[in-house]
Chain A
């Protein structure tokens, strides 16, 4: 996905061009303009004209600007300083997938383990970072994949998420590899409310340090939304049970079927800290004409999915209308099919490409023959003889104002009525904090959400921490895991009476991959294979049974080939000035023209002066110390393939390929 200069705001693509530092007082920090489209392809088409216009504007401003003496004299001081590669974030940022992952899972590291057949090692790398590799490998929202370098160098990203699943599917026995939980406890008791991914992560991290974790869950089993909201054709119960139980069996004192009804009461109990991981469990409702009369046949999506998960619901009407365009809507429509519905429709207010559901979820629903009706706003429930007969929709179109703000304007066409027996409402989720009294020191802010510190996850009541969807509204599982790790660190610091804002440093380690003159311990040949598609179960079977998993996952051969597509972005090109003889060999061999030996300058100019200008400002440039010829080496990190040819053609070893292992600090391995 080529999104250079593009960003999304209110579902609309905008252009943003950075303004050089010297012109910011005149032009502002950047120049931006709405492309008035939600479609990426047409945004890409419109892009360059506007980028050129902005560039010209910047050029004109440069000409107008008369440099005064002081500014000229300052010039040399404004030259790019040598890049500080000892900052752990520099090389981390180059590993695009890991940097984009909220839990900072070392993706290339586990993918290499997969290609070597070390599935168990690969699984443990994941488990350490994100706690639920088997679950996430099937359900993750994959923020890593749009970030993947392959989007910039080839076409499609590595199937990172499905490779994560591979680590689960082919792993061996892990019981010996789990961290040891001390028998002797440290005397601190932590209450965890809600048995979803956030709480389970907190529990796992804290148990290792000897904390006692007491988990409260209103449902009879753990897993939270992973169990109640994700249907088993996407996430088999066995996978869920295995990974949830892995944590529970580490010694969590789980109190199922126990709903915490009053925070005030809980605070009176003997807990050293309380973690709230209750998610966003309240499905939104729609109050339109006929809502009350038709109540018997209208179901709130997430509640309905929950009752399926616990097998309270086993059937649905023949004709079903799903209202909403998120992933819950997709799960609802596909579940309906499996419960015997014959005619299932999804209706969504917005245009198709602005739906909240992930691309792949929409594709799978449509693959199963479910139509998605875009631009349909529900107006009333149509009754017949006191029974729900259909839903009436108004047809709209999306119109954008100059700020790119969208409004849905009726087209004036005749309203449409879709006949149905049941309606499933999947139009969003809210938090539900009715059980937290407002006079106990937990302050609430906008939208009745608790005020939580972004770094420490602490609420205004020092003992109470929040994480997962409960903290800032619906996100996804990987965020919950990331929150859990951080909250665990905070809870530990709080219980040990340390400063919560002193966050532990990440682990960062560079190791040379050189094995011989031109041999590396990683496979540096760049695979030109296209992204491999995950095989699916035969629909004649999968559509009949709620429990048959649709995706079959990669087999070992496909996994190996997909793993080979990884560019090993964590194998860093490390440059040592004192060894360089400026022979240009690296410049000549680099397939993507990343390397330059040029006169230093201010960042803006330096980026523009490279052999191929470094226009992607999201990606850093590596600048060396001054070299003997008074030039500097500048490497644009943007499309480096990490093929190691620079290091292979370097006669002095000034370039070396070194694996960078960045490990986000956990509460139990703080340095």
Chain B
């Protein structure tokens, strides 16, 4: 924990985005997480993504549950809306908020405990219902806030810092989300912002449920030699599917890829994702291929990162439920309550 406030001074040549803001304008409080926590890097990546997309803070809602990860929203986007909910219940809050006002960008921050243990029931339904949100799991395989017990995403072969064996297999949240019909599933690593920032930007642009499973080493309880979620292990076993470039709407970026070695994916708002293929033939639009690739890499003890799966034609809960385009919170009593005459007519039609 740091005692001083981060000085307001910034570099005189700091970049300014379309809103006239600098990256520093998207920051939050100084983190009270352990020094070196992967979660802080993810916060920095979120800040960078929001800055690059020139998002307005007041159009974003940060939602979280309980845990180290769920504290993190305090450390970025100081001026956004936020709701720190009950443990594992962030998807419910997200659903309610989404239905009341679908115009905000919903950013859920959860951890492996919050999503894979206490909240798994909520998590699967949010994915299944295509809840329109970016759902970030800051996955460190441990319960850091309660001093380092195994979490449900900890790999079976991984031992605890104190030498204890993990008796249970891990839950792979990415595979789960793909199976449940999530339209955007990616995995990344807190220590690789070059990969992470474009993925966050793409997830923001996805219509429906976008899951980002981000491995985020816990420097205090899960960064030892026998851990499979340490900086060193992930760096050694990182199997990146592709290099991802996010191309905003109306912009052209020239990348010197070999012809045929890239896949271009359209996102909902017209912006695009360009993937430079590094694994031969992998196409993230193919669900079967995605599930197989993840299983293959798990067998090899590797960590498959990058955009795992994307459905370009995904829809979201609002569309499925055929809700009005005007958010519910903006509808007046007149529109919500058409009057007794109308009720009579409806009743008549049902006789």
Q: Which residues of A contact B (CB under 8 A)?
A: 2, 152-154, 518-519, 524-526, 528, 581-585, 587-589, 591-594, 612-613, 615, 628-629, 639, 641, 643, 645, 648-652
| A664 to B219 Cα, complex, angstroms | 43
Question: In the complex, what residues of A have CB within 8 A of residue B220's CB?
Answer: 651
Are A612 and B13 CB-contacts (below 8 A) given A583-B41, A649-B35? yes
Give me 12 other A-B pairs in contact (C-beta within 8 A), A584-B193, A645-B30, A650-B36 excluded: A584-B40, A584-B41, A589-B30, A591-B6, A591-B9, A592-B10, A593-B14, A612-B15, A639-B12, A649-B35, A649-B40, A651-B220
Quick check: B8 and A528 within 8 Å, CB to CB? yes
Task: Check: B108 CB closer than 8 A to any chain A CB.
Answer: no
Quick check: B219 and A589 within 8 Å, CB to CB? no
Task: Check: B38 CB closer than 8 A to any chain A CB.
Answer: yes
| A524 to B5 Cα, complex, angstroms | 10
Task: Check: B2 CB closer than 8 A to any chain A CB.
Answer: yes
Quick check: A591 and B35 within 8 Å, CB to CB? no
| A615 to B44 Cα, complex, angstroms | 24
> 4 smallest A-B Cβ distances: which pairs?
A651-B36, A588-B44, A526-B7, A583-B36
Which residues 8-64 in B have Cβ within 8 Å of A in the complex? 8-15, 24, 30-31, 34-38, 40-41, 43-44
Task: Check: B3 CB closer than 8 A to any chain A CB.
Answer: yes
Q: Which of A519, A581, A582, A648 has the most CB of B within 10 A?
A: A581
Question: In the complex, what residues of A have CB within 8 A of residue B30's CB?
Answer: 589, 645
Which residues 280-296 in B have Cβ within 8 Å of A in the complex? none
Task: Check: B4 CB closer than 8 A to any chain A CB.
Answer: yes
Quick check: A519 and B3 within 8 Å, CB to CB? yes
The 30 listed contacts between A and B (C-beta, < 8 Å) are A152-B12, A518-B1, A524-B4, A581-B36, A583-B217, A585-B35, A585-B40, A588-B40, A588-B44, A589-B6, A591-B9, A591-B24, A592-B9, A592-B10, A593-B11, A594-B11, A612-B14, A628-B232, A628-B235, A639-B11, A641-B7, A643-B7, A645-B2, A645-B4, A645-B6, A648-B2, A648-B35, A651-B34, A651-B219, A651-B220
Question: In the complex, what residues of B have CB within 8 A of residue A152's CB?
Answer: 12
Question: In the complex, what residues of B have CB within 8 A of residue A585's CB?
Answer: 35-37, 40-41
Quick check: B4 and A643 within 8 Å, CB to CB? yes
Question: In the complex, what residues of A have CB within 8 A of residue B141's CB?
Answer: none
Are A154 and B14 CB-contacts (below 8 A) given A525-B4, A585-B37? no
Quick check: B9 and A581 within 8 Å, CB to CB? no
Question: In the complex, what residues of A have CB within 8 A of residue B231's CB?
Answer: 581-583
Question: In the complex, what residues of A have CB within 8 A of residue B113's CB?
Answer: none
| A152 to B232 Cα, complex, angstroms | 38
Question: In the complex, what residues of B have CB within 8 A of residue A2's CB?
Answer: 12
Task: Check: B306 CB closer than 8 A to any chain A CB.
Answer: no
| A593 to B36 Cα, complex, angstroms | 17
Q: Which residues of B contact A (CB under 8 A)?
A: 1-15, 24, 30-31, 34-38, 40-41, 43-44, 190-191, 193, 217, 219-220, 223, 231-232, 235
A669 to chain B, nearest CB (A): 36
Quick check: A591 and B37 within 8 Å, CB to CB? no
Question: In the complex, what residues of A have CB within 8 A of residue B232's CB?
Answer: 581, 628
Quick check: B11 and A649 within 8 Å, CB to CB? no
Quick check: B10 and A526 within 8 Å, CB to CB? no
Question: In the complex, what residues of A have CB within 8 A of residue B24's CB?
Answer: 591
Q: Which of A582, A584, A650 has the most CB of B within 10 A?
A: A584
Question: In the complex, what residues of B have CB within 8 A of residue A629's CB?
Answer: 235
Question: In the complex, what residues of A have CB within 8 A of residue B190's CB?
Answer: 584
| A263 to B10 Cα, complex, angstroms | 59
Question: In the complex, what residues of A have CB within 8 A of residue B217's CB?
Answer: 583
Are A588 and B43 CB-contacts (below 8 A) given A613-B13, A639-B12? yes
Question: In the complex, what residues of B have CB within 8 A of residue A613's CB?
Answer: 13
| A650 to B38 Cα, complex, angstroms | 12
Are A582 and B191 CB-contacts (below 8 A) given A519-B3, A651-B35? yes
Taking CB as reference atom, which chain A residue is nearest B75?
A588
Quick check: B2 and A649 within 8 Å, CB to CB? yes
Quick check: B9 and A593 within 8 Å, CB to CB? no
Question: In the complex, what residues of A have CB within 8 A of residue B40's CB?
Answer: 584-585, 588-589, 649
| A589 to B30 Cα, complex, angstroms | 8
Q: Which of A153, A589, A641 has the most CB of B within 10 A?
A: A589
Q: Which of A154, A583, A593 has the most CB of B within 10 A?
A: A583
| A612 to B34 Cα, complex, angstroms | 27
Question: In the complex, what residues of A have CB within 8 A of residue B193's CB?
Answer: 584
| A652 to B8 Cα, complex, angstroms | 26
Quick check: A587 and B44 within 8 Å, CB to CB? yes
Question: In the complex, what residues of A have CB within 8 A of residue B5's CB?
Answer: 525
| A645 to B34 Cα, complex, angstroms | 13
Question: In the complex, what residues of B have CB within 8 A of residue A591's CB?
Answer: 6-10, 24
Quick check: B9 and A526 within 8 Å, CB to CB? yes
| A588 to B191 Cα, complex, angstroms | 11
Contact of B41 among A528, A588, A615 (CB under 8 A): A588
| A528 to B4 Cα, complex, angstroms | 13
| A272 to B192 Cα, complex, angstroms | 69
Question: In the complex, what residues of B have CB within 8 A of residue A582's CB?
Answer: 191, 231
Quick check: B11 and A612 within 8 Å, CB to CB? yes
A602 to chain B, nearest CB (A): 21
Question: In the complex, what residues of A have CB within 8 A of residue B44's CB?
Answer: 584, 587-588
Taking CB as reference atom, which chain B residue is nearest A519?
B3
| A68 to B11 Cα, complex, angstroms | 38
Are A154 and B9 CB-contacts (below 8 A) given A518-B1, A629-B235? yes
Contact of B10 among A518, A581, A589, A593 (CB under 8 A): A593
Are A615 and B37 CB-contacts (below 8 A) given A584-B191, A588-B44? no
Question: In the complex, what residues of A have CB within 8 A of residue B35's CB?
Answer: 585, 648-651
B195 to chain A, nearest CB (A): 13
| A587 to B8 Cα, complex, angstroms | 16
A635 to chain B, nearest CB (A): 13
Quick check: B191 and A583 within 8 Å, CB to CB? yes
| A113 to B24 Cα, complex, angstroms | 33
Taking CB as reference atom, which chain B residue is nearest A584?
B41
| A594 to B231 Cα, complex, angstroms | 23
Question: In the complex, what residues of A have CB within 8 A of residue B2's CB?
Answer: 518, 589, 645, 648-649
| A468 to B11 Cα, complex, angstroms | 40
Question: In the complex, what residues of A have CB within 8 A of residue B235's CB?
Answer: 628-629
Question: In the complex, what residues of A have CB within 8 A of residue B31's CB?
Answer: 589, 649
Quick check: A641 and B9 within 8 Å, CB to CB? yes
| A584 to B37 Cα, complex, angstroms | 9
Question: In the complex, what residues of A have CB within 8 A of residue B219's CB?
Answer: 581, 583, 651
B23 to chain A, nearest CB (A): 8
| A63 to B24 Cα, complex, angstroms | 35
| A584 to B193 Cα, complex, angstroms | 9
B237 to chain A, nearest CB (A): 14
Contact of A649 among B8, B10, B14, B36 (CB under 8 A): B36
Taking CB as reference atom, which chain B residue is nearest A613?
B13
| A593 to B22 Cα, complex, angstroms | 12
Question: In the complex, what residues of A have CB within 8 A of residue B10's CB?
Answer: 591-593
| A153 to B4 Cα, complex, angstroms | 18
Question: In the complex, what residues of B have CB within 8 A of residue A524's CB?
Answer: 4
Question: In the complex, what residues of B have CB within 8 A of residue A628's CB?
Answer: 232, 235
B290 to chain A, nearest CB (A): 28
Taking CB as reference atom, which chain A residue is nearest B41?
A584
A46 to chain B, nearest CB (A): 18
Quick check: A652 and B36 within 8 Å, CB to CB? yes
Question: In the complex, what residues of B have CB within 8 A of residue A648's CB?
Answer: 2, 35
Q: Which of B3, B12, B41 has the most CB of A within 10 A?
A: B12
| A594 to B14 Cα, complex, angstroms | 11
